Amino acid sequence: MTTTRSALVATATASLLLLATTLSSQTTDASAAPSSQTTDASAASPGVSKVRIVRLSETRGQVQLDRNNGRGFEPGITNLPIVENSKLKTGEGVAEIEFEDNSSLRVAPDSVVEFMKLERMANGGTVSTVHVTQGMVYVSLLKSSNNQFNVTFGDNNLALPAPSHVRLQLIGTEAHLAVLDGNLHLIGASGAAMEVSKKKTVTFDLLQHQQPSLAKDIAPEPYDEWDHNATGYHSRAANASSFNGSPYSYGMNDLSYYGSFVGGCGGGSMWRPYFTSANWDPYANGAWAYYQGAGYSWVSPYPWGWTPYHSGSWAFCPGTGWGWMPGNNWNGLNNISMMPFGGGAGGGGGTVVRRLPVAPPHPPRGHEPTMLAVNMKPLVKSEVVSREHFQFRNDSAGLGVPRGDFGKLNKVAEHVQQHGTVNQPVYFTAPQQTLQGGRPTSTAVMAGSIHRGSAPPASMGPGMGPGNAGANPGGRPGGPGNAGGYSGRVGGPSGGSMSGTPAPVHSAPPASAPSSAGGARPR
Protein backbone atom coordinates (compact mmCIF):
# COMPACT_ATOMS: atom_id res chain seq x y z
CA MET A 1 0.00 0.00 0.00
CA THR A 2 1.37 3.39 -0.97
CA THR A 3 2.32 5.59 1.92
CA THR A 4 1.09 9.15 2.22
CA ARG A 5 3.03 12.09 0.87
CA SER A 6 3.89 13.13 4.42
CA ALA A 7 5.51 9.74 5.03
CA LEU A 8 7.59 10.19 1.91
CA VAL A 9 8.65 13.62 3.09
CA ALA A 10 9.56 12.42 6.58
CA THR A 11 11.50 9.38 5.37
CA ALA A 12 13.46 11.17 2.69
CA THR A 13 14.12 14.26 4.80
CA ALA A 14 15.73 12.22 7.56
CA SER A 15 18.01 10.52 5.06
CA LEU A 16 18.92 13.69 3.21
CA LEU A 17 19.65 15.68 6.34
CA LEU A 18 22.07 12.92 7.30
CA LEU A 19 23.55 13.31 3.84
CA ALA A 20 23.99 17.01 4.55
CA THR A 21 25.88 16.17 7.73
CA THR A 22 28.06 13.69 5.87
CA LEU A 23 28.96 16.19 3.16
CA SER A 24 29.67 18.89 5.72
CA SER A 25 32.11 16.64 7.57
CA GLN A 26 33.81 15.67 4.32
CA THR A 27 34.64 19.27 3.52
CA THR A 28 37.01 19.60 6.45
CA ASP A 29 39.58 17.32 4.84
CA ALA A 30 39.95 17.19 1.09
CA SER A 31 41.62 13.79 1.27
CA ALA A 32 39.07 12.24 3.61
CA ALA A 33 36.60 9.51 2.64
CA PRO A 34 37.19 7.19 -0.27
CA SER A 35 33.97 8.45 -1.87
CA SER A 36 35.70 11.65 -2.94
CA GLN A 37 35.41 12.54 -6.61
CA THR A 38 38.96 13.89 -6.55
CA THR A 39 40.98 12.78 -9.53
CA ASP A 40 44.75 12.40 -9.65
CA ALA A 41 45.06 15.68 -11.51
CA SER A 42 42.94 17.85 -9.20
CA ALA A 43 44.19 18.29 -5.66
CA ALA A 44 42.13 20.40 -3.31
CA SER A 45 43.32 23.46 -1.41
CA PRO A 46 43.19 23.45 2.40
CA GLY A 47 39.59 23.64 3.56
CA VAL A 48 38.31 22.84 0.06
CA SER A 49 36.93 19.49 -1.05
CA LYS A 50 36.34 18.01 -4.49
CA VAL A 51 33.47 15.93 -3.11
CA ARG A 52 30.56 17.02 -5.28
CA ILE A 53 27.25 15.56 -6.36
CA VAL A 54 27.04 16.43 -10.04
CA ARG A 55 25.63 14.06 -12.65
CA LEU A 56 24.69 13.80 -16.30
CA SER A 57 20.96 13.68 -15.57
CA GLU A 58 19.52 13.34 -19.07
CA THR A 59 20.77 12.64 -22.57
CA ARG A 60 19.04 12.53 -25.92
CA GLY A 61 20.90 11.63 -29.10
CA GLN A 62 24.63 12.16 -29.56
CA VAL A 63 26.25 13.10 -26.26
CA GLN A 64 29.89 12.49 -25.33
CA LEU A 65 31.78 13.05 -22.10
CA ASP A 66 35.50 13.38 -21.45
CA ARG A 67 35.80 12.38 -17.78
CA ASN A 68 39.39 13.59 -17.40
CA ASN A 69 40.76 10.06 -17.41
CA GLY A 70 43.13 10.45 -20.34
CA ARG A 71 40.86 8.64 -22.82
CA GLY A 72 39.20 11.64 -24.42
CA PHE A 73 35.52 11.70 -25.30
CA GLU A 74 33.46 8.59 -24.61
CA PRO A 75 29.70 7.88 -24.80
CA GLY A 76 27.73 9.98 -22.35
CA ILE A 77 25.06 7.94 -20.56
CA THR A 78 22.52 9.00 -17.98
CA ASN A 79 23.76 9.17 -14.37
CA LEU A 80 27.47 9.34 -15.18
CA PRO A 81 29.11 11.38 -12.41
CA ILE A 82 30.66 14.68 -13.55
CA VAL A 83 34.04 15.48 -12.02
CA GLU A 84 36.23 18.55 -12.22
CA ASN A 85 37.86 19.14 -15.64
CA SER A 86 35.31 16.96 -17.40
CA LYS A 87 34.22 18.10 -20.86
CA LEU A 88 30.84 17.49 -22.45
CA LYS A 89 30.18 17.60 -26.19
CA THR A 90 26.90 17.25 -28.05
CA GLY A 91 26.41 16.46 -31.71
CA GLU A 92 22.85 15.89 -32.83
CA GLY A 93 21.75 15.62 -29.24
CA VAL A 94 21.03 17.44 -26.00
CA ALA A 95 22.07 16.89 -22.40
CA GLU A 96 21.22 18.05 -18.90
CA ILE A 97 23.51 18.24 -15.87
CA GLU A 98 22.14 18.50 -12.32
CA PHE A 99 23.97 19.98 -9.35
CA GLU A 100 23.36 19.06 -5.72
CA ASP A 101 21.18 22.11 -4.97
CA ASN A 102 18.89 21.02 -7.85
CA SER A 103 20.21 23.74 -10.15
CA SER A 104 20.70 22.54 -13.71
CA LEU A 105 22.64 23.17 -16.91
CA ARG A 106 21.17 22.18 -20.27
CA VAL A 107 23.33 21.85 -23.36
CA ALA A 108 21.87 22.25 -26.86
CA PRO A 109 23.20 20.41 -29.96
CA ASP A 110 26.67 21.09 -31.38
CA SER A 111 27.93 22.53 -28.11
CA VAL A 112 31.02 22.04 -25.95
CA VAL A 113 31.29 22.86 -22.23
CA GLU A 114 34.05 22.22 -19.71
CA PHE A 115 33.61 21.92 -15.95
CA MET A 116 36.64 23.96 -14.93
CA LYS A 117 35.95 23.99 -11.20
CA LEU A 118 33.76 21.82 -8.98
CA GLU A 119 34.60 22.49 -5.33
CA ARG A 120 32.98 22.44 -1.93
CA MET A 121 34.05 25.04 0.61
CA ALA A 122 34.55 24.50 4.33
CA ASN A 123 31.20 26.21 5.03
CA GLY A 124 29.39 23.64 2.86
CA GLY A 125 28.85 26.00 -0.05
CA THR A 126 29.84 24.99 -3.58
CA VAL A 127 31.84 26.73 -6.27
CA SER A 128 31.12 25.74 -9.87
CA THR A 129 32.76 27.19 -12.98
CA VAL A 130 31.55 26.08 -16.41
CA HIS A 131 33.37 27.22 -19.55
CA VAL A 132 31.34 27.34 -22.78
CA THR A 133 33.52 26.81 -25.85
CA GLN A 134 30.83 26.64 -28.51
CA GLY A 135 27.09 26.31 -28.97
CA MET A 136 24.28 27.15 -26.59
CA VAL A 137 23.53 26.40 -22.95
CA TYR A 138 20.78 27.16 -20.46
CA VAL A 139 21.56 27.70 -16.78
CA SER A 140 18.79 27.48 -14.20
CA LEU A 141 19.93 28.31 -10.65
CA LEU A 142 17.64 27.75 -7.70
CA LYS A 143 17.72 29.89 -4.59
CA SER A 144 20.52 28.67 -2.35
CA SER A 145 22.97 30.05 0.17
CA ASN A 146 26.77 30.01 -0.03
CA ASN A 147 26.81 28.55 -3.56
CA GLN A 148 28.72 30.28 -6.36
CA PHE A 149 28.13 29.59 -10.05
CA ASN A 150 30.32 31.07 -12.78
CA VAL A 151 29.93 30.82 -16.54
CA THR A 152 32.95 31.73 -18.66
CA PHE A 153 33.17 32.24 -22.43
CA GLY A 154 36.02 33.85 -24.31
CA ASP A 155 37.62 36.27 -21.84
CA ASN A 156 34.36 36.85 -19.97
CA ASN A 157 33.51 35.50 -16.53
CA LEU A 158 29.93 35.85 -15.32
CA ALA A 159 29.07 35.26 -11.68
CA LEU A 160 25.40 34.30 -11.86
CA PRO A 161 23.19 35.09 -8.85
CA ALA A 162 20.73 32.58 -7.43
CA PRO A 163 17.97 32.38 -8.37
CA SER A 164 18.37 33.15 -12.05
CA HIS A 165 17.75 31.57 -15.44
CA VAL A 166 19.81 32.47 -18.51
CA ARG A 167 20.53 31.30 -22.04
CA LEU A 168 24.02 31.77 -23.47
CA GLN A 169 24.63 31.31 -27.18
CA LEU A 170 27.95 31.69 -29.03
CA ILE A 171 27.61 32.68 -32.69
CA GLY A 172 30.80 33.52 -34.56
CA THR A 173 32.56 36.35 -32.75
CA GLU A 174 29.56 37.23 -30.60
CA ALA A 175 27.99 35.86 -27.43
CA HIS A 176 24.31 36.49 -26.70
CA LEU A 177 23.20 36.28 -23.08
CA ALA A 178 19.42 36.21 -22.65
CA VAL A 179 18.09 36.71 -19.12
CA LEU A 180 15.02 34.50 -18.91
CA ASP A 181 14.51 35.15 -15.21
CA GLY A 182 16.28 37.07 -12.47
CA ASN A 183 18.50 40.15 -12.57
CA LEU A 184 22.19 40.32 -13.43
CA HIS A 185 24.83 42.83 -12.43
CA LEU A 186 27.57 42.96 -15.07
CA ILE A 187 30.84 44.84 -15.28
CA GLY A 188 31.64 45.80 -18.88
CA ALA A 189 35.04 46.01 -20.57
CA SER A 190 35.27 49.71 -19.69
CA GLY A 191 34.62 48.97 -16.03
CA ALA A 192 31.13 50.43 -16.16
CA ALA A 193 28.39 48.52 -14.37
CA MET A 194 25.39 47.23 -16.29
CA GLU A 195 22.12 46.08 -14.74
CA VAL A 196 20.29 43.50 -16.83
CA SER A 197 16.76 42.61 -15.88
CA LYS A 198 14.45 39.81 -16.95
CA LYS A 199 13.56 39.50 -20.66
CA LYS A 200 16.62 41.41 -21.89
CA THR A 201 19.58 40.29 -23.98
CA VAL A 202 23.23 41.30 -23.67
CA THR A 203 25.53 40.90 -26.69
CA PHE A 204 29.30 40.55 -26.18
CA ASP A 205 31.96 41.03 -28.86
CA LEU A 206 34.43 38.20 -28.25
CA LEU A 207 37.25 39.80 -30.25
CA GLN A 208 37.09 43.45 -29.27
CA HIS A 209 36.88 44.38 -25.61
CA GLN A 210 34.00 46.81 -25.88
CA GLN A 211 31.09 47.58 -23.64
CA PRO A 212 28.36 44.93 -24.20
CA SER A 213 25.20 46.10 -25.94
CA LEU A 214 21.76 45.66 -24.42
CA ALA A 215 18.49 44.76 -26.19
CA LYS A 216 15.08 45.02 -24.54
CA ASP A 217 13.78 41.70 -25.78
CA ILE A 218 14.73 38.04 -26.25
CA ALA A 219 14.77 36.34 -29.64
CA PRO A 220 13.14 32.89 -29.47
CA GLU A 221 15.27 29.81 -30.08
CA PRO A 222 14.06 26.28 -30.95
CA TYR A 223 15.28 24.79 -27.67
CA ASP A 224 13.60 27.35 -25.41
CA GLU A 225 10.58 25.09 -24.99
CA TRP A 226 12.72 22.07 -24.12
CA ASP A 227 14.45 24.18 -21.47
CA HIS A 228 11.14 25.54 -20.22
CA ASN A 229 9.62 22.06 -19.94
CA ALA A 230 12.69 20.77 -18.10
CA THR A 231 12.67 23.59 -15.54
CA GLY A 232 8.93 23.06 -15.09
CA TYR A 233 9.48 19.35 -14.46
CA HIS A 234 12.06 20.04 -11.75
CA SER A 235 9.89 22.71 -10.18
CA ARG A 236 6.71 20.59 -10.13
CA ALA A 237 8.48 17.50 -8.83
CA ALA A 238 10.36 19.48 -6.19
CA ASN A 239 7.14 21.10 -4.97
CA ALA A 240 5.36 17.75 -4.89
CA SER A 241 8.10 16.33 -2.70
CA SER A 242 9.11 19.39 -0.71
CA PHE A 243 11.60 18.20 1.87
CA ASN A 244 11.05 20.91 4.48
CA GLY A 245 13.44 23.21 2.66
CA SER A 246 16.34 20.78 2.81
CA PRO A 247 18.98 21.76 0.24
CA TYR A 248 19.93 18.09 -0.12
CA SER A 249 16.79 16.78 -1.82
CA TYR A 250 19.00 15.79 -4.73
CA GLY A 251 17.43 13.39 -7.19
CA MET A 252 14.15 13.24 -5.28
CA ASN A 253 12.27 14.91 -8.16
CA ASP A 254 12.94 11.82 -10.29
CA LEU A 255 11.97 9.49 -7.44
CA SER A 256 8.65 11.34 -7.06
CA TYR A 257 7.88 11.05 -10.77
CA TYR A 258 9.06 7.52 -11.49
CA GLY A 259 7.98 5.68 -8.35
CA SER A 260 6.54 5.80 -4.84
CA PHE A 261 7.08 4.52 -1.32
CA VAL A 262 5.26 1.30 -0.46
CA GLY A 263 5.00 -0.91 2.59
CA GLY A 264 8.18 -2.89 3.10
CA CYS A 265 9.28 -5.86 5.15
CA GLY A 266 8.94 -5.58 8.89
CA GLY A 267 6.39 -2.77 8.77
CA GLY A 268 8.70 -0.14 7.31
CA SER A 269 8.55 1.48 3.90
CA MET A 270 10.71 1.39 0.81
CA TRP A 271 10.71 3.16 -2.53
CA ARG A 272 9.93 1.12 -5.65
CA PRO A 273 10.02 2.31 -9.26
CA TYR A 274 6.85 2.03 -11.29
CA PHE A 275 6.61 -0.63 -14.01
CA THR A 276 8.40 -3.36 -12.07
CA SER A 277 7.43 -6.87 -10.98
CA ALA A 278 8.89 -8.96 -8.19
CA ASN A 279 11.35 -10.34 -10.77
CA TRP A 280 12.94 -6.98 -11.52
CA ASP A 281 16.53 -6.61 -10.30
CA PRO A 282 18.08 -3.16 -9.65
CA TYR A 283 21.58 -4.39 -10.52
CA ALA A 284 20.82 -6.58 -13.55
CA ASN A 285 21.55 -3.77 -16.01
CA GLY A 286 23.99 -0.90 -15.83
CA ALA A 287 27.59 -0.04 -16.52
CA TRP A 288 30.96 0.17 -14.79
CA ALA A 289 32.70 3.52 -15.31
CA TYR A 290 36.32 3.96 -14.26
CA TYR A 291 37.48 7.18 -12.56
CA GLN A 292 41.12 7.88 -11.73
CA GLY A 293 41.72 7.99 -8.01
CA ALA A 294 38.40 6.31 -7.25
CA GLY A 295 38.22 3.11 -9.28
CA TYR A 296 35.08 1.73 -10.88
CA SER A 297 31.71 3.33 -10.19
CA TRP A 298 28.37 1.63 -10.84
CA VAL A 299 26.17 3.66 -13.19
CA SER A 300 22.45 2.89 -13.47
CA PRO A 301 20.65 3.47 -16.80
CA TYR A 302 17.32 4.38 -15.23
CA PRO A 303 16.18 8.03 -15.33
CA TRP A 304 15.75 7.98 -11.53
CA GLY A 305 18.91 5.94 -10.98
CA TRP A 306 21.17 8.30 -9.06
CA THR A 307 20.17 8.69 -5.41
CA PRO A 308 19.18 5.02 -4.81
CA TYR A 309 22.60 3.89 -6.08
CA HIS A 310 24.63 6.35 -4.02
CA SER A 311 22.84 6.29 -0.66
CA GLY A 312 20.68 4.06 1.50
CA SER A 313 20.29 0.38 0.62
CA TRP A 314 18.28 -2.06 -1.48
CA ALA A 315 16.27 -4.83 0.15
CA PHE A 316 14.06 -7.63 -1.16
CA CYS A 317 10.56 -8.37 0.12
CA PRO A 318 8.99 -11.68 -0.99
CA GLY A 319 5.93 -11.07 -3.15
CA THR A 320 6.85 -7.43 -3.65
CA GLY A 321 10.39 -7.39 -4.94
CA TRP A 322 13.34 -5.07 -4.55
CA GLY A 323 12.95 -1.64 -3.01
CA TRP A 324 15.23 1.18 -1.93
CA MET A 325 15.38 2.38 1.66
CA PRO A 326 16.91 5.78 2.49
CA GLY A 327 19.81 5.60 4.91
CA ASN A 328 22.52 7.61 6.59
CA ASN A 329 25.29 6.59 4.24
CA TRP A 330 26.43 8.41 1.13
CA ASN A 331 28.64 6.90 -1.55
CA GLY A 332 30.08 9.14 -4.23
CA LEU A 333 32.08 7.49 -6.98
CA ASN A 334 32.86 4.47 -4.81
CA ASN A 335 29.34 3.09 -4.63
CA ILE A 336 30.22 -0.60 -5.01
CA SER A 337 30.09 -1.17 -1.26
CA MET A 338 26.32 -0.60 -1.11
CA MET A 339 25.59 -3.53 -3.44
CA PRO A 340 23.75 -6.27 -1.48
CA PHE A 341 26.40 -8.96 -2.05
CA GLY A 342 25.42 -12.45 -1.00
CA GLY A 343 21.75 -11.75 -1.55
CA GLY A 344 19.17 -9.44 -0.07
CA ALA A 345 17.37 -9.94 3.22
CA GLY A 346 13.78 -11.01 2.76
CA GLY A 347 10.82 -10.87 5.09
CA GLY A 348 10.84 -13.35 7.94
CA GLY A 349 14.60 -13.74 7.77
CA GLY A 350 14.56 -15.13 4.23
CA THR A 351 17.38 -14.44 1.83
CA VAL A 352 17.25 -14.05 -1.94
CA VAL A 353 20.32 -15.52 -3.61
CA ARG A 354 21.26 -13.65 -6.76
CA ARG A 355 24.08 -13.05 -9.16
CA LEU A 356 25.68 -9.63 -8.97
CA PRO A 357 27.76 -7.72 -11.50
CA VAL A 358 31.42 -7.75 -10.55
CA ALA A 359 33.69 -4.80 -11.28
CA PRO A 360 36.84 -5.51 -13.32
CA PRO A 361 39.71 -6.48 -10.98
CA HIS A 362 42.10 -3.86 -12.32
CA PRO A 363 42.06 -0.42 -14.00
CA PRO A 364 41.63 -0.42 -17.77
CA ARG A 365 44.91 -1.21 -19.51
CA GLY A 366 46.14 -0.02 -22.87
CA HIS A 367 43.18 0.56 -25.11
CA GLU A 368 40.67 -1.26 -22.89
CA PRO A 369 37.44 0.71 -22.52
CA THR A 370 36.84 2.68 -19.33
CA MET A 371 33.10 2.00 -19.48
CA LEU A 372 31.78 -1.55 -19.52
CA ALA A 373 28.11 -2.41 -19.98
CA VAL A 374 26.43 -5.04 -17.82
CA ASN A 375 23.32 -6.89 -19.03
CA MET A 376 22.69 -9.87 -16.80
CA LYS A 377 19.10 -9.88 -18.03
CA PRO A 378 17.60 -8.52 -21.26
CA LEU A 379 17.16 -4.78 -20.83
CA VAL A 380 13.47 -3.85 -20.95
CA LYS A 381 12.48 -0.42 -22.23
CA SER A 382 9.15 1.36 -22.68
CA GLU A 383 8.93 3.07 -26.07
CA VAL A 384 6.90 4.26 -29.03
CA VAL A 385 5.64 1.23 -30.95
CA SER A 386 3.51 2.79 -33.70
CA ARG A 387 2.56 6.11 -35.22
CA GLU A 388 0.04 6.71 -32.46
CA HIS A 389 1.00 4.61 -29.45
CA PHE A 390 3.52 4.44 -26.66
CA GLN A 391 3.95 1.09 -24.93
CA PHE A 392 4.61 0.94 -21.20
CA ARG A 393 6.32 -2.36 -20.34
CA ASN A 394 6.61 -4.13 -17.04
CA ASP A 395 10.15 -4.40 -15.66
CA SER A 396 11.25 -1.38 -17.69
CA ALA A 397 11.33 0.51 -14.37
CA GLY A 398 10.62 3.74 -16.25
CA LEU A 399 13.43 3.35 -18.79
CA GLY A 400 12.28 5.04 -21.99
CA VAL A 401 9.50 7.05 -20.30
CA PRO A 402 10.16 10.75 -21.00
CA ARG A 403 10.70 12.87 -17.92
CA GLY A 404 7.57 14.75 -16.94
CA ASP A 405 5.80 14.47 -20.29
CA PHE A 406 3.22 11.88 -19.24
CA GLY A 407 1.89 13.38 -16.02
CA LYS A 408 1.19 11.09 -13.05
CA LEU A 409 2.30 7.53 -13.74
CA ASN A 410 0.81 5.65 -10.79
CA LYS A 411 -2.46 4.63 -12.46
CA VAL A 412 -0.94 3.43 -15.71
CA ALA A 413 1.69 1.58 -13.65
CA GLU A 414 -1.08 -0.37 -11.91
CA HIS A 415 -2.48 -1.47 -15.28
CA VAL A 416 0.98 -2.45 -16.52
CA GLN A 417 1.51 -4.55 -13.42
CA GLN A 418 -1.73 -6.39 -14.15
CA HIS A 419 -1.32 -6.86 -17.91
CA GLY A 420 2.44 -6.73 -18.55
CA THR A 421 2.16 -4.03 -21.21
CA VAL A 422 -0.19 -1.12 -21.82
CA ASN A 423 -0.46 0.90 -25.03
CA GLN A 424 -1.36 4.56 -24.67
CA PRO A 425 -2.19 7.01 -27.49
CA VAL A 426 0.46 9.72 -27.85
CA TYR A 427 1.22 12.78 -29.93
CA PHE A 428 4.29 14.91 -30.49
CA THR A 429 4.75 18.69 -30.25
CA ALA A 430 7.62 20.82 -31.46
CA PRO A 431 8.37 24.51 -32.05
CA GLN A 432 7.65 25.94 -35.49
CA GLN A 433 11.35 26.84 -35.91
CA THR A 434 12.23 23.15 -36.04
CA LEU A 435 10.02 22.35 -39.02
CA GLN A 436 10.91 22.11 -42.70
CA GLY A 437 8.05 22.07 -45.12
CA GLY A 438 5.62 21.53 -42.25
CA ARG A 439 7.32 18.33 -41.11
CA PRO A 440 9.50 17.87 -38.00
CA THR A 441 13.27 17.65 -38.43
CA SER A 442 15.87 15.98 -36.22
CA THR A 443 16.02 19.26 -34.31
CA ALA A 444 12.32 18.91 -33.56
CA VAL A 445 12.97 15.50 -32.06
CA MET A 446 15.37 17.03 -29.54
CA ALA A 447 13.39 20.21 -28.89
CA GLY A 448 9.92 18.67 -28.89
CA SER A 449 7.87 16.72 -26.38
CA ILE A 450 5.78 13.57 -26.45
CA HIS A 451 2.42 13.53 -24.65
CA ARG A 452 -0.17 10.95 -23.66
CA GLY A 453 -3.54 11.30 -25.32
CA SER A 454 -4.76 12.59 -28.67
CA ALA A 455 -3.48 15.73 -30.34
CA PRO A 456 -5.72 18.73 -29.60
CA PRO A 457 -7.59 20.35 -32.50
CA ALA A 458 -5.77 22.89 -34.62
CA SER A 459 -5.92 26.44 -33.33
CA MET A 460 -7.76 28.91 -35.52
CA GLY A 461 -5.88 31.89 -34.16
CA PRO A 462 -3.88 34.07 -36.55
CA GLY A 463 -0.33 32.88 -37.13
CA MET A 464 -0.87 29.63 -35.28
CA GLY A 465 0.20 26.30 -36.68
CA PRO A 466 -1.67 23.01 -36.29
CA GLY A 467 -2.24 21.69 -32.81
CA ASN A 468 -1.13 24.69 -30.81
CA ALA A 469 -4.21 24.98 -28.67
CA GLY A 470 -2.90 23.28 -25.57
CA ALA A 471 -0.43 21.25 -27.59
CA ASN A 472 2.24 21.62 -24.95
CA PRO A 473 0.81 21.26 -21.45
CA GLY A 474 2.35 23.76 -19.09
CA GLY A 475 3.88 25.79 -21.89
CA ARG A 476 4.03 29.55 -21.84
CA PRO A 477 1.19 31.24 -23.72
CA GLY A 478 2.73 32.79 -26.77
CA GLY A 479 6.16 31.47 -25.85
CA PRO A 480 8.56 29.63 -28.16
CA GLY A 481 7.02 26.44 -29.42
CA ASN A 482 3.42 27.61 -28.99
CA ALA A 483 3.19 30.15 -31.76
CA GLY A 484 3.28 28.24 -35.01
CA GLY A 485 4.24 24.96 -33.40
CA TYR A 486 3.70 21.41 -34.56
CA SER A 487 1.48 18.74 -33.14
CA GLY A 488 1.17 15.37 -34.79
CA ARG A 489 1.56 11.63 -34.56
CA VAL A 490 4.79 9.96 -33.70
CA GLY A 491 6.31 6.91 -35.24
CA GLY A 492 9.23 4.57 -35.09
CA PRO A 493 11.26 3.57 -32.06
CA SER A 494 12.06 6.21 -29.52
CA GLY A 495 15.27 8.11 -30.12
CA GLY A 496 18.09 8.97 -27.81
CA SER A 497 20.25 5.95 -28.61
CA MET A 498 23.95 6.56 -28.34
CA SER A 499 26.79 5.53 -30.55
CA GLY A 500 29.85 3.79 -29.21
CA THR A 501 28.00 1.43 -26.85
CA PRO A 502 30.28 0.10 -24.08
CA ALA A 503 31.36 -3.51 -24.48
CA PRO A 504 29.52 -6.06 -22.29
CA VAL A 505 31.22 -7.52 -19.22
CA HIS A 506 29.04 -10.60 -18.76
CA SER A 507 27.60 -12.95 -21.30
CA ALA A 508 23.83 -12.74 -21.30
CA PRO A 509 20.88 -13.06 -23.66
CA PRO A 510 21.07 -10.42 -26.41
CA ALA A 511 20.18 -7.05 -25.00
CA SER A 512 20.96 -3.49 -25.80
CA ALA A 513 23.43 -1.70 -23.57
CA PRO A 514 22.06 0.78 -21.03
CA SER A 515 20.97 3.96 -22.73
CA SER A 516 19.03 6.98 -21.66
CA ALA A 517 15.47 7.72 -22.59
CA GLY A 518 15.08 10.01 -25.51
CA GLY A 519 12.39 11.75 -27.46
CA ALA A 520 10.35 9.83 -29.97
CA ARG A 521 11.23 10.14 -33.64
CA PRO A 522 8.32 11.43 -35.71
CA ARG A 523 7.96 10.53 -39.37
- Give yes or no: residues 82 and 105 share one domain: yes
| pLDDT of residue 343 exceeding 80 | no
| pLDDT of residue 252 exceeding 50 | yes
| pLDDT of residue 356 exceeding 60 | yes
Domain that holds residue 42: 25-227
In this prediction, residue 13 carries a pLDDT of: 42
Mean of the pLDDT values across residues 251-260? 90
- Give yes or no: residues 166 and 79 share one domain: yes
- Give yes or no: residues 136 and 284 share one domain: no
Mean of the pLDDT values across residues 494-507? 34
11 found inside a domain: yes
517 found inside a domain: no
343 found inside a domain: yes
- The strand pairing partners of 131, in sequence order, are 114, 152
Give the integer Cα–Cα distance in Å for 257 and 273: 9
Give the integer Cα–Cα distance in Å for 92 and 109: 5
522 found inside a domain: no
- Give yes or no: residues 400 and 496 share one domain: yes
| pLDDT of residue 20 exceeding 70 | no
**The domain boundary residue, chosen from 357, 375, 393:** 375
C-alpha to C-alpha distances, 278 to 92, 253, 275, 328, 489, nearest whole angstrom: 38, 24, 10, 26, 34
Mean of the pLDDT values across residues 205-212? 86
**The domain boundary residue, chosen from 209, 227, 245:** 227
In this prediction, residue 490 carries a pLDDT of: 63
What pLDDT, in 10s, does the model give residues 359-385?
998 999 988 899 999 999 999 999 999
Question: In the chain, what percentage of residues exceed pLDDT 90?
Answer: 48
Pairing of strands 174-181, 200-205: antiparallel
- Give yes or no: residues 206 and 239 share one domain: no
- Give yes or no: residues 54 and 186 share one domain: yes
Give the integer Cα–Cα distance in Å for 277 and 317: 12
- Give yes or no: residues 206 and 167 share one domain: yes
- Give yes or no: residues 90 and 129 share one domain: yes
In this prediction, residue 208 carries a pLDDT of: 81
**Which range among 183-192, 199-208, 272-281 shows the weakest confidence by mean pLDDT?**
183-192
Give the integer Cα–Cα distance in Å for 495 and 60: 7
Sheet holding 285-291, edge to edge: 295-299, 285-291, 371-375, 503-504
**The domain boundary residue, chosen from 342, 375, 408:** 375
The total number of structural domains in the chain stands at 3
509 found inside a domain: no
DSSP 365-404: -TT--SEEEEESSPPP--EE-SSSEEEEETT-TTTTPPTT
What pLDDT, in 10s, does the model give residues 36-52?
333 333 455 667 888 89
Q: pTM score > 0.95 for this model?
A: no
C-alpha to C-alpha distances, 55 to 90, 228, 314, nearest whole angstrom: 16, 20, 21
In this prediction, residue 341 carries a pLDDT of: 59
In this prediction, residue 328 carries a pLDDT of: 73
| pLDDT of residue 407 exceeding 50 | yes
Residue type, 127: V
| pLDDT of residue 505 exceeding 50 | no
In this prediction, residue 47 carries a pLDDT of: 76
Q: Regarding predicted confidence, which is higher, 352 or 147? A: 147
**Which range among 7-21, 38-52, 148-162, 337-351 shows the weakest confidence by mean pLDDT?**
7-21
- Give yes or no: residues 446 and 302 share one domain: no
**Which range among 289-298, 387-396, 477-486 shows the weakest confidence by mean pLDDT?**
477-486
- Give yes or no: residues 216 and 276 share one domain: no
Domain with residue 110: its CATH number is 2.60.120.1440
Distance of CA 60 to the CA centre of its chain: 10
Residue 340: band (very low, low, confident or very high) from pLDDT cuts 50, 70, 90: confident
What pLDDT, in 10s, does the model give residues 257-309?
999 999 888 778 999 999 999 999 999 999 999 998 889 999 999 999 999 99
What pLDDT, in 10s, does the model give residues 88-108?
999 999 999 999 888 999 999
- Give yes or no: residues 463 and 491 share one domain: yes
| pLDDT of residue 181 exceeding 50 | yes
Straight-line distance from the first to the last Cα atom of the chain, in angstroms, rounded to the nearest whole number: 42
In this prediction, residue 193 carries a pLDDT of: 80
Mean of the pLDDT values across residues 162-186? 94
- Give yes or no: residues 322 and 464 share one domain: no
In this prediction, residue 171 carries a pLDDT of: 96
In this prediction, residue 489 carries a pLDDT of: 64
In this prediction, residue 375 carries a pLDDT of: 95
Q: Please give the mean pLDDT across all residues of the chain.
A: 78
| pLDDT of residue 128 exceeding 90 | yes
**Which range among 55-59, 287-291, 498-502 shows the weakest confidence by mean pLDDT?**
498-502
In this prediction, residue 486 carries a pLDDT of: 61
516 found inside a domain: no
Please answer whether residues 290 and 279 qualify as being in contact, where contact means their C-beta atoms are separated by less than 8 angstroms. Answer: no
Residue 354: band (very low, low, confident or very high) from pLDDT cuts 50, 70, 90: low
